[in-house]
Structure 1
């Protein structure tokens, strides 16, 4: 049989497209063809950021092995794509049909038959589409195994009365709970759907339960994690197959010409920060990045900016183009550099970086852990709250940043925590030890490496 063709379908958000793209590029490196399906809205962003990024180098073979295509997301042209409630309502109404049509059109053209579907856990309904067309599939969870397990166990939590049957918008217990004796405790108030706002949370949860119903259609439950990071969770739900950390090859391994272009980014990466980092002393820079969703109000933005000034240390701060906040007039910022979007893995690997001030999204968490950088944790919403607990309390490689009684992180709190982490040799040591363990997984013979190889072998058969 020739190279199998895999259809890859991420959930339409930057933090989901990135790991799926990394996964797709790994499939290409292992002799598969990939058809990567974004929503039309995100497809346009990805293609335009790639066009801006490209120099006029010759088209490489990856173009033909990894094809970017799109289907509509069911929203109107002016709808806000960050509105999770709208998105989760629109997707199941229109995307399954659009996906089926896309696959049938590809088959009619006869260039490639799709042999396999890899769907984001939050797009697992695609397994039903596949099953209808006789195509097998897998799910890929771009978040932690803990999140996967929580989602899988929502029906059990409803049965046990921990979540009310009106879909979890009230929590019936104030106590911390354990989904299994082998897992760390969770605070029900941190359940990811609760901090999205009532109606949004309910719609997101309804949608995810709809996705979870399709999980029985595959035995391939892949997850961007490793045994060392979540041993108890993987013990409790052994169906979850760790294949992490999913890292962009080009940032670790310069001889891989196939993956030199950053694909899948919604914004153009600003590489000028790399030469700026070259000018900074080793271990001196605070890297500040809050992912693709976090938005601050003006007051919090001011405190953050003035807090960075107060630390009196060099900082690299990522502020997305969609930021509407003005810099406070007292902000000097002379020790820092500000960019709209950074090549994060490259940045974190730079010897000048001392610490990572992060929203604790799982991709950022995995990148930081793989590079051995201490974390300052400032979660925004969703699973970031337990990622923070995991980093600080279980792995002990970071410090949480606390809000005051008005729910604001003050400039003083920021300065205090930055000082603390810069001077904490124990955390730095644990980061290095954990990095070694995590990276062993993707080295030849490592658990994640072998799991990925078995997966590719199964597709090829």
Structure 2
């Protein structure tokens, strides 16, 4: 299993009664280079140019598809006119990034995540606080673990709510401030 006993002792104990399992620790993988033309160094070089704890890393994995109303881009996948110009050097949009390296980078202040298992493990191993935005399946449980058990972040909305509502900019801002600069910051 891609976990370790200290992280999930009760689960590994109970699962061991059903079948033999071996928690082998966190499996940090060597990133696979993107075929999209976006190189690792582009992303890391950009992070190198940013101040300590000044970047919010947002990634929803390769399966999660946010509702169109939640996205900031159009059905065609094209960003709104002028978006990149307005963002300038304050943001970087990439199709793929070396997530483990990004999360370990000193400029990253927090991670807005869908709470997939790999992202959950990588967030915990990097020590970066999270804003959890689970969509379905184990993501809801993983978010609960990150927020309520390991206390390394906040959840943007309660489980079950994500399907029927749009999270506003002000809610996201409140969560970001909570994990990075409030008295609750981790």
Fold shared by both chains (TM-score > 0.5): yes
CA distance in 1, matches of 2:78, 2:129: 29
CA distance in 1, matches of 2:47, 2:71: 24
| 1:240 counterpart (21, 27, 43) | 21
Q: Is the 8 A contact 1:378 1:401 kept in 2?
A: yes
1:289 aligns with 2:59: yes
Offset from partner CA, 1:216-258 (integer Å, 9 cap, x none): xxxxxxx00112221211222233211121013x6xxxxxxxx
Q: What is the Cα deviation at residue 415 of structure 1?
A: 1.0
Cα distance change, pair 426–336 in 1 and its aligned pair in 2 (3 A): same
Residue pairs, 1:391-402, within 5 angstroms: 391-402=146-157
| 2:135 counterpart (365, 375, 380) | 380
Counterpart position of 1:256: none
Q: What is the Cα deviation at residue 326 of structure 1?
A: 3.5
Tell me the SS of whatever aligns to 2:92: strand
Tell me the SS of whatever aligns to 1:301: coil
CA distance in 1, matches of 2:4, 2:185: 20
1:333 aligns with 2:91: no
CA distance in 2, matches of 1:394, 1:268: 39
Counterpart position of 1:274: 44
Q: Is the 8 A contact 1:226 1:242 kept in 2?
A: yes
Residue pairs, 1:108-257, within 5 angstroms: 223-238=1-16, 239-248=20-29
Q: Is the 8 A contact 2:33 2:39 kept in 1?
A: no
Tell me the SS of whatever aligns to 1:234: helix
Cα distance change, pair 426–296 in 1 and its aligned pair in 2 (3 A): closer
CA distance in 1, matches of 2:120, 2:150: 11
Offset from partner CA, 1:312-357 (integer Å, 9 cap, x none): xxxxxxxxxxx84343457432321111100111111111011010
Tell me the SS of whatever aligns to 1:399: strand
Counterpart position of 1:122: none
Counterpart position of 2:174: 416
Q: What is the Cα deviation at residue 384 of structure 1?
A: 0.8
Tell me the SS of whatever aligns to 2:71: helix
Which protein has greater RCO, CA pairs closer than 8 Å, 6+ apart? Answer: 2
Largest Rg, 1 or 2: 1
Cα distance change, pair 265–229 in 1 and its aligned pair in 2 (3 A): farther
Equivalences, count: 175
Tell me the SS of whatever aligns to 2:93: strand
Q: Is the 8 A contact 2:34 2:96 kept in 1?
A: no
Q: What is the Cα deviation at residue 393 of structure 1?
A: 1.1
TM (normalized to structure 2)?
Answer: 0.83
Q: Is the 8 A contact 1:270 1:343 kept in 2?
A: no
Q: What is the Cα deviation at residue 411 of structure 1?
A: 1.3
Offset from partner CA, 1:341-374 (integer Å, 9 cap, x none): 0011111111101101011110111111111111
CA distance in 2, matches of 1:405, 1:368: 24
CA distance in 1, matches of 2:163, 2:3: 35
CA distance in 2, matches of 1:393, 1:266: 38
Q: Is the 8 A contact 1:404 1:410 kept in 2?
A: no
